[in-house]
Amino acid sequence: MAKKDLISLSVEEKLTALYNLQQVDSKIDKIRQIRGELPLEVQDLEDDVEGLETRIQKYTDEVNGLEDGIVERKNVMKDALAQIKKYEEQQNNVRNNREFESLNKEIEFQQLEIQLSEKKIKEFKANIEQKNEIIEVAKNELDERKKDLEAKKAELDDIIAETQKEEDGLQKDSKKAEGQIEERLLIAYKRIRENARNGLAVVTIQRDSCGGCFNKIPPQRQLDIRMRKKVIVCEHCGRILVDPEIDPNYVKPEPVEEKPKKRTLRTRKKATAK
């Protein structure tokens, strides 16, 4: 239907279109409620798995770096030992004490390099052991999270498989219903629906009250709603109010017969006195 034609619809037709759209959207909401918190739980578990994998990779990279450091320090020690051997050989051919002391200092320096490397290797190994423990704990936690994720995904997939066809059909009906509502009203409907806790933007009068927030509606306002001459919103919650008889399946409740009042002794005496 063209936009111009939608604007020219009567208020009653507009309210009917809004009510029909609400009915379809409420059915979609119910289907999604069946899934409950499962989609969020799956997302949280996926985030946990990703976080743990990143953490494990980070510590693994650090362990690899420490192992490279150990190899580097061992090479330093190897070079230092070679230097010491060279200096010791040179000491056998020195011409004076000054040359001997100079070579001796070089040997002491290389020995200090060896001691420092041994200390660093010991620190690296302790660090590697600590990080490997963290990695092991993280891997165990990752395995548990993956099992939980697999179970939750299977549960969600089963629910989606059962309801997806129905939801897809309802989504098409919702789009079709939206096409019968002018843009201004549709925007207002969606805004109210987003802010409503139960997703209800269009509600009927129930027991003289708003079907959304259950606040009482004054008799005159109820009469205006039943007239269907203008779009009326609840002054408490902002939802669009419609007459329950707008629903084609609405069954009007039968009037309750008032039971005759029981005559008490006092009323009988008054009747006798008259």
Question: Looking at the DSSP assignment, which residues form a beta bridge with residue 260?
Answer: none
CATH of domain 35-169: 1.10.287.1490
Residue with tokens 């995904």: 153
What the block records as the tokens of 177 is 């219903």
The pLDDT of residue 223 is 94
Q: Using only C-alpha atoms, what is the Rg of the chain?
A: 42
- The whole-model pTM stands at 0.56
The pLDDT of residue 273 is 52
The pLDDT of residue 146 is 96
Rounded Cα gap, residues 157 and 152, in angstroms:
8
185 closest CA partner among 29, 9, 24: 9
The pLDDT of residue 123 is 96
The pLDDT of residue 147 is 96
Do the domains at 3-29+178-246 and 35-169 have one common CATH topology? yes
The pLDDT of residue 159 is 83
Residue-wise pLDDT tens digits, 17-45? 999 999 999 999 988 887 778 888 999 99
DSSP string, 75-114: HHHHHHHHHHHHHHHHHTT-SSHHHHHHHHHHHHHHHHHH
The pLDDT of residue 265 is 55
> Could you say which residues of the chain have pLDDT below 70?
1-8, 253-274
The pLDDT of residue 65 is 96
**At 49, which helix (H) or strand (E)?**
helix 38-91
The pLDDT of residue 267 is 54
DSSP string, 169-188: HHHHHHHHHHTTS-HHHHHH
Q: Domain 3-29+178-246 classified CATH 1.10.357.10?
A: no
The pLDDT of residue 10 is 87
DSSP string, 50-84: HHHHHHHHHHHHHHHHHHHHHHHHHHHHHHHHHHH
Question: Looking at the DSSP assignment, which residues form a beta bridge with residue 121?
Answer: none
Rounded Cα gap, residues 81 and 115, in angstroms:
11
- How many Cα neighbours within 13 Å face the side chain of 149? 15
